[in-house]
């Protein structure tokens, strides 16, 4: 008889680690494993803001999937998923389709626009390698245009960032480090470049530790960032945000939106019910209504019963969910009981450029400065270790050993 077929769609943190665990835990004869991904590489989503600011080589952010996944054990399908048909147990691809016995949906996120006029059409978004690279090319092209005299409008040099969640703040800090280099390359006076951040909430990084918020805000303001907090973006044009009740226009040659994320659009388009942009997964990480479909990573919320709210949705939780997902797939194959996901929060660390960071670890221990930055490198390297062993740390890691 045919072996059960497990199809994993999306090779981000959640999909890569689930596949990796399945190859470690399942015998060959127990199941066929198929991993579907848009590209033949996996990328570090958590480094995309560096690509967008031009402060990292994009190739360093990419990992060839065949370098870290055993392709003798896992059948790779490099194609784009256009629809999931859970009733028919099929996945529709741009160039074909696949049937499954068990499906893991790990298609990740897209940037949410909340229906704000102009954001979808005009703002740059940090979503994947390609559009992050395009952001940096655009920034540099504004500098070239200005330097060549093609424009004498100083606002062409402005970099405007909407939203100061972790993505916005980490990106800001990289931009702050890149601007002096661009100014010297194109012989432009640094004082002509404004870096402006607009945030609707009363502070940057809403909900984060107050002392660390203060540290980050002061650090970035000292390096020239202009903060417009408590200011809601109402509309986006190709070269501005319209903000606040008085509809003030803030002009800039580069307009980037980091206002929030939601599940990959394929999920909603395939009929899965969304709550605040994501599917409410069951405790065992399965989608509601379908006993053979798992919904993990940025596609879903998982309920934290102890605190009566969803667990944080980030790379850390995606990696942990992969363990539970793989174990539960094994349980289903063996007719055993599934286990509930419990998130073990190891803390949050956000970089403020290459030499600085802020974070909380071990519940409420605060870190900032070089120590926090070191911790960020440790976290990044730990993931590289999980997915590709020590070899991958040496190749792509953030700490140089020699
Ligand atoms: P993703 O990482 O988004 O992966 C989805 C995968 O699916 C990609 O490989 C993509 O190519 C593929 N895919 C998408 N659509 C299709 C399709 N239609 N067909 C086939 N394949 C498809 N979290 C942290 O915990 N720590 C951090 O420091 C951190 N930093 C971040 C920095 C930035 C700039 C951003 C944007 C996010 C950051 N996050 C961080 C959040 C974290 O990156 C996400 O929560 C995490 O990437 C979610 O993992 P995932 O596997 O669900 O999805
Ligand atoms: P987010 O939802 O965390 O932040 C979006 C920000 O945009 C919020 O502060 C929000 O108030 C603001 N905003 C929304 N609408 C607005 C409007 N109309 N006008 C002005 N401001 C507006 O989104 P994110 O920063 O993209 O992060 C997404 C996820 O990735 C989060 O779970 C985050 O924790 C995670 N992440 C983690 C790290 C890290 O741990 N180092 C880094 C980046 C992202």
SS3 content of the chain, % helix, strand, coil (to 5): 40, 25, 35
Q: Is the pLDDT of residue 338 over 90?
A: yes
For residue 180, being part of any structural domain is answered with yes
Does one domain contain both 274 and 331? yes
The residue ranges of DSSP E strands in 244-346, in sequence order, are 248-251, 254-257, 261-263, 279-280, 293-295, 300-301, 303-304, 309-310
Query: Which whole number is the average pLDDT over 194-213?
Result: 97
Four-residue CA torsion sign, 239, 244, 245, 246: negative
Q: Which helix (H) or strand (E) holds 199?
A: none
Residue 62 lies in a domain: no
Flag whether pLDDT at 402 surpasses 60.
no
Residue 74 lies in a domain: no
pTM: 0.97
Tell me: do 248 and 224 sit in the same domain: yes
Residue 213 lies in a domain: yes
| Matching residue, tokens 């939106």 | 257
> Do 25 and 14 share a structural domain?
yes
Q: Would you say residue 222 has pLDDT above 50? A: yes
Q: Give 162 Cα–ligand 2 centroid separation in angstroms.
A: 10
CATH of the domain at 153: 3.50.50.100
User: Which residue among 20, 41, 46 has the greatest number of ligand 1 atoms within 8 angstroms of its CB, and so is best to mutate?
Assistant: 46
Structural domain range at position 34: 5-38+79-111+262-337
Mean pLDDT in residue range 245-264: 98
Tell me how many domains the chain contains: 2
Cα–Cα distance between 315 and 321 in angstroms, integer?
10
Q: Are residues 22 and 146 in the same domain?
A: no
Euclidean distance between CA atoms 370 and 354, whole angstroms: 9
Are both 220 and 358 inside the same structural domain?
A: yes
Domain boundary among 298, 315, 337: 337
The rounded Å distance from CA 147 to ligand 1 centre is 36
pLDDT tens digits for range 51-99: 999 999 999 999 999 999 999 999 999 999 999 999 999 999 999 999 9
**Choosing from 89, 110, 170, 174, which is the catalytic residue?**
170
Share above pLDDT 70 across residues of the chain, in percent, rounded to a whole number: 99
Residues 313 and 354 occupy one common structural domain: no
Q: Specify whether 102 is located in the same domain as 126.
A: no
| Phi and psi, residue 376, nearest 5° | -60, -40
Read off the pLDDT band of 399 (50, 70, 90): low
* CATH number for position 333: 3.50.50.60
Closest ligand relative to 50 C-alpha: 1
Residue at 393 is within a domain? yes
- Tally Cβ neighbours within 10 Å of residue 293: 21
Q: Cβ contacts of residue 312 below 8 Å, gap of 6+? A: 343, 345, 348
The residue among 258, 197, 257, 191 whose CA lies nearest residue 225 is 197
Write out pLDDT tens, residues 126-135. Answer: 999 999 999 9
- Rounded distance between C-alpha atoms, residue 136 and residue 151, angstroms: 19
Grade residue 363 by pLDDT with cuts at 50, 70 and 90. confident
Q: Are residues 120 and 222 in the same domain?
A: yes
Q: Contacts for 394-400 with beta carbons within 8 Å, 24 or more apart?
A: 396/44, 396/60, 396/63
Domain final residue pick, 317, 337, 357: 337
Same domain assignment for residues 165 and 224: yes
401 pLDDT above the threshold of 70:
no
Verify that 376 and 231 share a domain, yes or no: yes
Q: Is 110 in the pocket of ligand 2 (CB under 6 A)?
A: no
Distance (Å) of CA 255 to CA 121, 185, 202, 224, 238 = 11, 22, 21, 18, 7
CA of 108 to the centre of ligand 1 (A): 5
- Closest ligand to C-alpha of residue 360 is 2
Count of Cβ atoms closer than 10 Å to residue 250 Cβ: 22
Pairing state of beta strands 248-251 and 96-99?
unpaired
pLDDT tens, position by position, 34-50: 999 999 999 999 999 99
Same domain, 136 and 219: yes
Measured from the CB, is residue 259 less than 6 Å from ligand 2? yes
Do both 215 and 268 map to the same domain?
no
Dihedral, 7, 11, 17, 20 alpha carbons, nearest 10: 60
191 Cα–ligand 1 center, Å: 35
For ligand 2, atom 23, the nearest C-alpha belongs to 260
**Final residue of a domain: which of 337, 354, 385?**
337
55 domain residue, yes or no? no
Residue 170 a catalytic site member? yes
């Amino acid at each position: 008889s045919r072996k059960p077929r497990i199809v994993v769609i999306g090779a981000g943190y959640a999909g890569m680690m689930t596949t990796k665990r399945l190859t470690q835990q399942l015998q060959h004869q127990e199941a066929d494993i198929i991993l579907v991904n848009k590209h033949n590489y996996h990328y570090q989503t958590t480094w995309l803001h560096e690509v967008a600011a031009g402060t990292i080589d994009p190739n360093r952010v990419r990992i060839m999937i065949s370098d870290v996944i055993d392709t003798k054990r896992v059948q790779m399908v490099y194609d784009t998923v256009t629809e999931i048909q859970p009733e028919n147990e099929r996945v529709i691809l741009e160039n074909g389709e696949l049937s499954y016995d068990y499906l893991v949906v790990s298609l990740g996120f897209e940037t949410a626009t909340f229906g704000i006029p102009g954001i979808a059409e005009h703002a740059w978004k940090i979503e994947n390698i390609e559009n992050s690279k395009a952001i940096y090319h655009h920034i540099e092209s504004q500098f070239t245009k200005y330097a060549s005299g093609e424009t004498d409008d100083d606002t062409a040099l402005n970099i405007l960032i909407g939203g100061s969640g972790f993505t916005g703040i980490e990106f800001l800090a990289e931009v702050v480090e890149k601007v002096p280099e661009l100014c010297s390359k194109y012989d432009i006076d640094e004082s002509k470049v404004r870096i402006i951040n607009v945030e609707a909430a009363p502070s940057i990084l809403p909900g984060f530790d107050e002392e660390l918020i203060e540290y980050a805000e002061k650090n970035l303001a000292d390096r020239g960032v202009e903060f417009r907090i408590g200011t809601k973006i109402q509309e986006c044009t190709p070269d501005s945000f319209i903000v606040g009740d008085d509809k003030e226009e803030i002009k800039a040659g580069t307009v980037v939106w980091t206002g929030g994320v939601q599940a990959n659009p394929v999920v909603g388009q395939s009929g899965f019910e969304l709550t605040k942009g994501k599917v409410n997964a069951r405790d065992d990480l399965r989608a509601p209504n379908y006993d053979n479909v798992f919904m993990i990573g940025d596609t879903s919320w998982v309920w934290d019963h102890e605190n009566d709210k969803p667990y944080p949705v980030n790379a850390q939780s995606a990696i942990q969910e992969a363990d539970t997902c793989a174990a539960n797939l094994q349980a289903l194959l063996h007719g055993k009981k599934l286990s509930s996901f419990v998130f073990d929060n190891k803390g949050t660390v956000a970089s403020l450029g290459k030499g600085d960071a802020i974070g909380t670890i071990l519940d409420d221990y605060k870190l900032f400065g070089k120590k926090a930055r070191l911790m960020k490198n440790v976290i990044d390297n730990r993931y590289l270790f999980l997915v590709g062993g020590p070899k991958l740390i040496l190749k792509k890691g953030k700490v140089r050993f020699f």
